[in-house]
Structures are given as C-alpha cells and as structure tokens.
Chains A and B, each alone.
Chain A
C-alpha cells in the first residue's frame, strides 16, 4: 500500500497470510519508521510467525501493541488466520505505553486501576486499552479503570479474541511481545491530536424477562431457578453442541435496576459439569435479563450509526485512522457478509481513512460522549484519530 503523504499523520498497512501452522514465508518492511505499530492476528500466527519479533528488531524505537483476534480488519476486508500490521507516524503527538500483568482473575479491578495510575494525566488526551480476553473479568477491569481515570479523559479498547474457540487469547506487549494474562494501555498526548469514539450494537431484546437467581461474578448458574445452560440448550437446539460459540447468537440484555441502561453480556465459556456459563462481564444475582437477537441489516445499520456517532459530520473527512473493535458475535451472525459492516463504517469517513481492528470478546467505551466507560458486548466500537497542524 502507498503511504499517505497528503495527511499530517502517516499510516501504512501490511497483510501477512500464513500457512496452516502460522508460518509466514516473506516479511516485508514499511516505507517509514513508525511511532506506533499495531498488530491484529490469529493466536497461531502471533505465536508462530515470528513477524512481530522481526519488527521489534527492525524498528527499535516504535511502540508495538496489538492482540489476538476472532477476525482481523484491514481496510474494508475481514480476514481469518492473518496478521494485519498497521504503522502510524504522528507529526507532533506522543504515545506512552504501559502494561500490567494479571495472575488471577480476581485482580482484574486493581489491575485496571493501577494500569491507569501509571500515566501522567497532564496533557493526556485518550487511553486505548487491550486486554487478555479470557483470564480477565472485563467488567471488573473497566470498573478499576473508571476509578483511576481523570474526568476529561476517555478510554476505548477491547478484549482479545481466539476465533470462535475461546481457548487462548494474547495481547502484544511493547517489549515482551505475545503474552497471555496482560492488559496494555496506550496514552495519547499532544495539542494537535483529536481522538473520538462511537459504540453501538443493533441488537434487540425479545421474549419474557427472566431473573438471575444464582451467579458468582461472571459465572451464571441459574436463571429463574433453572440451570442456565439448559435454557440456552433449549433455544439453540442442534447448535447447542457448538457452545460456547453458538451462545453468541443469544446475548443477554442485563439490567441491575429498573432505571438503568441495560448492558449486553455474551458467553465466553461453558462448564457442562457445573451447568454454568461464563460471561464477559458480571451478572449480579437478582438482576433482570432478556435474550437478545439481531438480524444482519440491523447490525450493519448499527455499525454505520456508531461511525456517525463518533465524529461530527464536518470533521469526518479529517479522520485519518480508525481502530474498529467489533464483537465476535456480530461476525457469527453476519457470516459471509461481515465485511458489509466495515464498509458501512468506511463509507461514513471516506476514502482517506485507514482502517484496522479486530473481532473481539468484549469492547470498552462510554455509552455516550463524556459518560463513564463501560464494558460492552456485541457492539461495533470505533476509535478515530486525526491530527491538525
């Protein structure tokens, strides 16, 4: 791809396709030395290709970040089993990298808090977070982030994915590269950088309202005093054997009190012995849940609406770079036409924008502009970047 010299910010994207075991035959370099190198790829390719290690050596001054995915986004294409590398050079903005290790899932909240506290808040514009997708309690992580975050700074980001397998997820650290059990954060500083975001789903709740009668943190045992797994199996029919992936077709709309905005929760894992389901966020006992469903048109409309919500109409042509984090559940519904939702986003911003991103196990963003950030599921969450002179 030709580097974009017209804009103040420089971006370039490379796509590496691998053999089945993740081997890359030929590694190309970028045409400039980037400030930031973002990688999104399948777990196997991250582990086995050696591409990231190569770039670490090649560009010792660049900040390297990224994660494993349930699908990679490069421009308007959605790939599986590839590695998308996006190089970004800012004209005047600074990026600071921090990370934190999480040993046990119970540390999620304090980890979120401590990670944010590592930053100098003076001049901080935005934080972009990537987290392990399976060994972290996403809603606790976000709660910790919220505790430490200064009011005027917003956070977006997502949880790493592993196809529809839910086995191993990785985050790419700046020095130690591909690892599990870490959360990374990029802090953006500078007077000329403008970072915005939009996050929307397109799912609708249906059917009767049920109550969570037995749950521990993000592990759900019983709904209306019946095994939760049984309920899922009855709705999935033949597809029950594909759990947990097929469970993504029925996310839960969860409300802890009647006057609260409902959040969406999706399945990450199941335990047939315990008849339990593990979700990407907490489900407090006593809260009300409803099944949700979506059709392809509504999901694509949702992605477009997220793009529209992220940037004011007149400023859309200034967006030079955008990171799209879309939920794996959307990919399972959209299937062959998954690229439609990425195209819908590109149509809003125009040809000048460079798109990258991934299909995730959870998205982090505020509901509305300047609201506190939340953990979402099933959304298209867009973070946009532009720089002015």
Chain B
C-alpha cells in the first residue's frame, strides 16, 4: 500500500472503520489511484528528462554550428560582456578574463560616431534585431571589419535582457572592395586623359596638315609654268593623302567624342528619321529604299540614331557593287520585349565570314584605301555607341547577294 495512504489511515481511521468491507473497498480504490498517480508522475518525470536532454542536444548542435562559423558575444542589459566564443578570442587577441565583465564599448572603433552606436542601441534596446557592418577594435587597437547581427534576447515580458552578437570578419572583403574602388577611380581618370589626349592630338595634328595642304597649293601656283605633268600629279596625290589624313583625324575625333557628348532624350519617329537620313545622303543613289516593318516611336538621343543609321546606310551605298542599289530596314522586338532589334539589309557584294568581327575594329578596312576612300572609323563608332547603350551589333552576310547589319538596343 502507498506509504502516505497507510500513514493517513493509521492516524485517522479507527480499526473497526478501517476493517469494514466498504471502507476496505474504498481504500483499495484510493490506493489504486495513488499508485497510478505515482506511476504517471514517474512517467512524466522520465519524459521531461529525456525530452529536455534531446532538446538540449538539438540546441547544442545549433550552438556548435554558430560557434564554428562566426564570432559570437553575449552582453547583458548594461552592455557588459558575459560570453565570448573561441573565434572572438582568436580574432581579437583578447583573453576571456580581459573582456568578460567589461563593457562592450571596449570593442567600439573610434572611427564610428557616437550617433552610429546610439542608433544601434536604440534599435536593439527596443527589442529589434540590428544588422549591418561595423569596425571593431582588437586588443592591439587595430581594427577589423565585421558583418554584424545583434539579436536581443528577451524575458517573458518581451523586454531585452541580453544581446547576442553574431559577427563575421569581412576585413578581406572590405580591402578588396576598396581596391576595386581605387582601381575603378584610376581607370576612370585614365580614360578621361585618353579622351582628352585623342581630342588634343587630332586638333593639333590638323593644323600642320592644313599648312601642308596650303603650302602644296602655293608651290603649285608658284611653279605653275615649269611644273611638268608628273610633278603636278604627285602634288595632287600629296593633297589627296593630306585629305585622307584629315579624314582619319576627324574619325579619331568623332570616335573619342562618343560618350562625351551630352545630349538630351527626345521623342523620335524612327520612320521619319530614316527618310531624313536617306534624303541627306542622297536618295538619288538608291534605286529602292524600303522600310519593312512598322517603325516605333522612341524616346532616345536622336543624334546617336542619326550616327548609327547614316553610317550603316552610307556603307551600304559606298560598298555596293550592283547597278541598282537596294536597301531595306527592318524592325522587331526581341528577348521578351526587352530589346529593339533593327536590321539594315543591302544587295552589296557581301562580307566573308572571317571579317564579321574585324570590320567593327577601328581603322580596319576590307579594301585598300586607294580603291575605296575610307577611314575605317565609321563602324567602330557605331559599335561603340550601341555597346555603350547596352546593345549589340552583328552582321549576317551572303557573298554576292548582300549583307544585313543587325543591332539591338534595350527598351
């Protein structure tokens, strides 16, 4: 019989009552209840113990994972450090004795303002998680950058009582980031210098060139009587080369200007623009100019489209070997309506596949300059404009049938 029950019966029940049949039945039933209660209690205790062990094990896995992946500190509501993990010790050089019980401010970097820390404190002391990057001090007063998450640990009323700080050392990333920034900055200034250089060079080169041109004309005038046909021809060739050189210099100038010009966006009716370009180049040279698809109206820099189309269309005329020049412009949307695609098709001699890329390189001409006067700058400018705007240009061609230049521009 349950000990407690036995005691109570001995104390309070007279023997005659305790031994009566009904009391015995009653006592048996109470005893059964006692023992089943004890059994339940033991079971509950066992369950709680096992369950607590399991929960603790599960929790320690998380703890171990956290400790092996990050710098962890715990500070109390007064910002005094209560716990630091091994990673903290390894990175900062502090010993546990030196930081435990000390204020967390010990780790604050003088590079951050008081306000910076105040904002963080305001956020976490009101029970919210703070995430960000900050510099922290090591024992030797050097600093490291850390990506930081501060989690307030709250009591049952929801008030923060401790703060769990999880940090990852990102000093290397910060260094790399700074290096990239420096590099980009120096690259930018070098590019500027280069542009300036091209501009100045072409300007300065043009002056002596004009002088040569003028001088050759004067020489020709002065020697008008004694000059023979050969010399005259040579002087003409000289001036021809001077013009070619001037064109080359103008090309460089124009190329270096792409991207430096500040122009404004405006509404462009593409089909109107194309007709204007064809008229200005000389519509009489073209036997058949067609616009195949309905052209869009775009908001863009007009001058860029002018440069692209006038270069491509005048190329289609210049290099054409047929008696009747035919040019056709097409338009579509591609890549899920993310790009405008234009196509300029001619019926010229076509381009060998091996030249598909080199034609877009500056100063590259497929034919000797004596045969067709060309600077080799036009397509390079077109490519630069398009790629600067985030588009792409390529050519498809069939020998003796013609070529199509395609280019895309983002919407």
Write the residues of chain A forming the contact surface with B, with a CB cutoff of 8 angstroms: 206-208, 234-237, 239, 249, 291, 293, 335-336
Select one of A235, A249, A335, A336 contacting B50, CB under 8 A.
A235
Contact between A335 and B46 (Cβ–Cβ < 8 Å)? no
Contact with A along B41-85 (1 / 0, CB 8 A): 011001100110011001000000000000000000000000000
* Chain B residue contacts of A239, Cβ below 8 A: 43
What chain B residues lie within 8 Å of A235 (beta carbons)? Answer: 46-47, 50
User: Is B178 among interface residues, defined by CB-CB distance under 8 A?
Assistant: no
Residue of B nearest to A246 (CB): B43
Q: How far is the CA of A208 from the CA of B59 in the complex (A)?
A: 10
Main secondary structure on A side of the interface with B: helix
Q: Is the CB of B33 within 8 A of A237?
A: no
Indicate if B29 sits at the interface (CB-CB under 8 A): yes
**Contact of A336 with B36 in the complex, beta carbons under 8 Å:** yes
Q: Tell me which residues across on chain B come within 8 A of A236, comparing CB atoms.
A: 43
CB pair A207 B32 closer than 8 Å: no
The tally of residues in B whose CB lies under 8 Å from a CB in A reads 13
B-to-A contact residues, CB < 8 Å:
29, 32-33, 36, 42-43, 46-47, 50-51, 54-55, 58
User: Please, how many angstroms separate the alpha-carbon atoms of A235 and B44 in the complex?
Assistant: 10
If A208-B51, A235-B50, A336-B36 are given as contacts, then 10 extra A-B residue pairs at C-beta distance below 8 Å, sorted by A number, are A206-B47, A207-B54, A207-B55, A208-B54, A208-B58, A236-B43, A237-B42, A237-B43, A249-B43, A336-B33
Contact A293 B47, beta carbon cutoff 8 Å: yes
Contact B58 A234 (CB under 8 A): no
For the complex, give the distance between the alpha carbons of A234 and B55 in Å.
15
- Give B139 Cβ to nearest chain A Cβ, in Å: 40
Shortest beta-carbon distance from A296 to chain B in Å: 9
**With A and B bound together, what is the CA distance between A206 and B51 in angstroms?**
8
| Interchain residue pairs with CB less than 8 A apart (6) | A207-B55, A208-B51, A208-B58, A235-B47, A236-B43, A239-B43
Whether A234 pairs with B36 at a CB distance below 8 angstroms is: no
On whether the beta carbons of A335 and B36 are closer than 8 Å, the reply is yes
- Chain A neighbourhood of B46, CB < 8 A: 235, 237
Contacts of B51 in A (CB 8 A): 206-208, 291
Given A208-B58, A336-B32, A336-B33, A234-B50 contact (CB < 8 Å): yes
The interface residues of chain B lying within 8 Å CB-to-CB of A234 are 50
Bound form: Cα–Cα A236–B47 in Å: 8
The answer for the CA separation of A291 and B51 in the assembled complex, in Å, is 10
CB <8 Å contact, A208 and B55: yes
Question: Once bound together, how far apart are the Cα atoms of A235 and B43, in whole Å?
Answer: 8
Within 8 Å CB of B58, what residues of A? Answer: 208
CB-nearest residue of chain B to A239: B43
Q: Shortest distance in angstroms between B392's beta carbon and chain A's nearest beta carbon? A: 45
B48 nearest CB neighbor, chain A only: A206
Nearest-Cβ distance from residue B59 to partner chain A, whole angstroms: 9
Contact B29 A336 (CB under 8 A): yes
Q: How far is the CA of A291 from the CA of B43 in the complex (A)?
A: 14
**A contact residues around B42 at 8 Å (CB):** 237
A209: nearest residue on chain B (CB-CB)? B58
Give A174 to B54 CA distance when docked, in angstroms.
51
A98 and B50 CA atoms in complex are apart in Å by 48
Please give me the residue from chain A that is nearest to B56 by CB atom. A208
* Distance to closest chain B CB from A146 (angstroms): 35
Chain B neighbourhood of A335, CB < 8 A: 36
Quick one: which of A207, A234, A293 has the most chain B CB within 10 A?
A207
Which residues on the A side are within 8 Å of B47 (C-beta)?
206, 235, 293
Determine the chain B residues whose CB is within 8 A of the CB of A291 once the complex forms: 51
